[in-house]
Every structure is written in C-alpha cells, then in structure tokens.
C-alpha cells in the first residue's frame, strides 16, 4: 500500500511524533496574522472579534518574533499561519515569514488567494513555503456564496492555476493544499473534489464546520455529523481502492488524520494561547506567560501522550447539540 500523502512542513511521521512526545518537544506552532480580511465567509470560525478589521491589540512583529523564538527553543520545526484574516493583507506577513525561515523553520500558510499574483507566487516558490488555498466548490455560484464575495471563484481559479504553474504540487511531499468546508451547498461534489485533489497531488483539508465564531451563527448551512461521517468513510474507501492508500479511520480531516494536539500550540493574533485552532479553552497569553511554561503544564503533557482519531471540539459540539 502507498503512504498517506502529506504536506511539506506538516509531514511528520508517526515515529517523529512519538519521539517528540517522549522528549517533550514541540513540532508545530499555529500563529495568526492580522484580523484584516477581504472575504466575508458566513461560517468563518475566526469571526470572533466583531468584524474583520485590524484590531487595536494585535501582536506586533517583535511579539510574533518572540513567539517564534520561544517555539523554536521548544523544538518547533514548522510555523503554520491560519487566520485571523487573510495573511497576505497583513503589512508584516512577509517579515514574519522571513524571520521564521531565518530561524530554520518551515512555513505553511492558509490563503484565499485573491492577493496571490504571479510575483507573490514566485516569491513563495523561491522560499519553499507550503500554501493551503481556500477551495470549496467548482460551481462558481456556490463558491461565491460560501465566501460572501461575487467573483471569488474566478480569483481562486487564477490563484490555483498559478500555484500549479510554479510547481507547488510537483514535489514530494507536495507544497500545495486546499482548505474546504462541507456544507449543504457543496456536499454532493465533495468526493469528486477529493479525488481531483488526489489526482493532482494536492493535500486535501476537507472537514465540517469548526464550531466557533460565524459557524455557530449561520443557519441552514451545516451538514449533520452522520452526513459528514458517511462522506469520510467513503473517502477512505476511495483511498484504499483507487489510490492504494490505507490508514486507520480518523474523523478529523478527510484523507489524513489531524493529531496536532500531540505536538503543537496555537497563538491567536491577540496573544492568547490554545491547544489548537478549534479549542476555546484558554491556556494563557504570551504577553503574560512564557510559551514553555504553558507547554510544560502537567495537563498538556498528559494530553500529548494520547492518540486521537476525532476532532475533540467538533465532537463536543455535536454531543451537546444532540442532548
């Protein structure tokens, strides 16, 4: 059987994860950039600040560098940037990325692609950065509806084509991923999208809503747990039969498990620290606490010794909803 396709920078083997857990080392830091965004996705789980404008209390570049330094001292190898808004609109995004690379770390970042012109794509390619592009549907009307912007589908296609042109999907592991949410509007095409991404050597991050922010307010968009579970099981069957990829079932991301709770921490744009991007359990704030003190707490050490085959925040949400 073939190995599970992974994304460069997020390609830790099970042996590496186990070794890091034994040695109490961090492998990945999730850190946000500015809250500024040019989309208005109704389901946005990072829509928790009362809008998508710049916040008065965002981490400065020096504060972000300090977080990166502290993570590096804990053994961190990869910096993953997801939110709070669109990273490419953050005035210090490039300086933040360049600093982490200078420290010997890999970079992964999520983007909607609107600002991904040829100049930026060439620059990212030269820096060996991995890019995860928002991509929810091949239906133009559905794609635009899901992000709240008319014409987004065309912008996304242009960005995706540029990333293919510059070879982000021609490496092993790939340096191109996509970020998709399963909704009532695109659920019928999810498995086709999944296979298209597999065929193109694109790392799929396909999942239900994360129950935070806008996802808790939007009505009539989310699929049920049973619907999502059925799609995940079908995708695993497709992987096994069509692509020769076999793995234990995981109800986290379609096509690959998410086990970040075992080796990562998440720092939002205001300095708050959480276990992962879906967690609402505040662990501290880097303006008051050292990252090492949070990392070394007995409770987190215990969490890192466990294996996970589901997304804890989503399961807690579904469980509460069914009561």
pLDDT band at 162 (very low <50, low <70, confident <90, very high): very high
Question: Is 90 exceeded by the pLDDT of residue 259?
Answer: no
C-alpha radius of gyration, the chain, whole number: 19
* pLDDT number for residue 310: 86
pLDDT computed for residue 257 by the predictor: 79
pLDDT at 90: 98
pLDDT at 217: 93
**Alpha helices in the chain, H assignment, sequence order:** 14-22, 61-73, 93-102, 118-126, 140-147, 152-165, 190-199, 225-243, 291-295, 298-304, 312-322
> Which is nearest to 24 in space by CA: 295, 237, 265, 226?
295
Show the tokens assigned to 25. 């080392």
Tally the residues of the chain. 323
Percent of the chain topping pLDDT 70 = 100
Model pLDDT for residues 218-254, shown as the tens digit of each residue: 999 999 999 999 999 999 999 999 999 999 898 998 9
User: In the predicted model, what is the mean pLDDT of the chain?
Assistant: 95
Q: Which domains does the chain have, with CATH numbers?
A: 14-322 (3.20.20.70)
| Exposure string over 306-323, b if 16+ CB within 10 A, otherwise e | eebeebbbbeebbeeeee
Q: In the structure, what pLDDT confidence band is assigned to residue 95 with cuts at 50, 70 and 90?
A: very high
Given pLDDT bands bounded at 50, 70 and 90, which one contains residue 166?
A: very high
203: how many CB neighbours lie within 10 A of its CB? 27
Predicted pLDDT of residue 47: 87
């Amino acid at each position: 059987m073939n190995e599970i396709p992974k994304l460069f920078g997020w390609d830790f083997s099970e042996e590496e994860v186990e070794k890091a857990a034994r040695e109490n080392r961090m492998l990945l830091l999730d850190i946000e950039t500015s809250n500024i965004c040019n989309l208005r996705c109704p389901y946005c789980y990072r829509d928790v600040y009362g809008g998508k404008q710049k916040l008065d209390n965002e981490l400065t570049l020096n504060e972000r560098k300090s977080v990166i330094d502290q993570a590096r001292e804990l053994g961190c190898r990869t910096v993953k940037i997801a939110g709070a808004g669109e990273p490419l609109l953050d005035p210090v995004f490039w300086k933040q990325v360049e600093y982490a690379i200078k420290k010997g770390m890999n970079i992964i970042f999520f983007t909607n692609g609107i600002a991904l012109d040829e100049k930026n794509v060439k620059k990212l390619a030269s820096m060996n950065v991995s890019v995860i592009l928002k991509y929810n549907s091949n239906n133009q009307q559905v794609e635009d509806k899901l992000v709240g912007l008319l014409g987004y589908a065309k912008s996304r296609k242009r960005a995706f084509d540029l990333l293919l042109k510059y070879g982000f999907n021609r490496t092993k592991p790939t340096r191109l991923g996509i970020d998709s949410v399963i909704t009532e509007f695109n659920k019928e095409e999810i498995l086709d999208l999944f296979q298209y991404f597999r065929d193109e050597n694109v790392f799929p991050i396909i999942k239900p809503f994360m129950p935070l922010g806008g996802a808790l307010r939007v009505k009539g968009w989310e699929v049920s747990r049973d619907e999502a579970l059925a799609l995940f099981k079908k995708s695993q069957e497709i992987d096994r039969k069509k692509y020769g990829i076999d793995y234990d079932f995981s109800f986290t991301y379609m096509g690959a498990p998410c086990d970040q709770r075992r080796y990562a921490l998440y720092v939002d744009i205001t300095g708050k620290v959480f276990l992962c991007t879906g967690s609402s359990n505040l662990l501290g704030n880097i303006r008051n606490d050292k990252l090492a003190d949070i990392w070394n707490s007995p409770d987190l050490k215990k969490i890192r010794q466990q294996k996970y085959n589901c997304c804890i925040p989503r399961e807690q949400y579904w469980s509460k909803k069914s009561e």
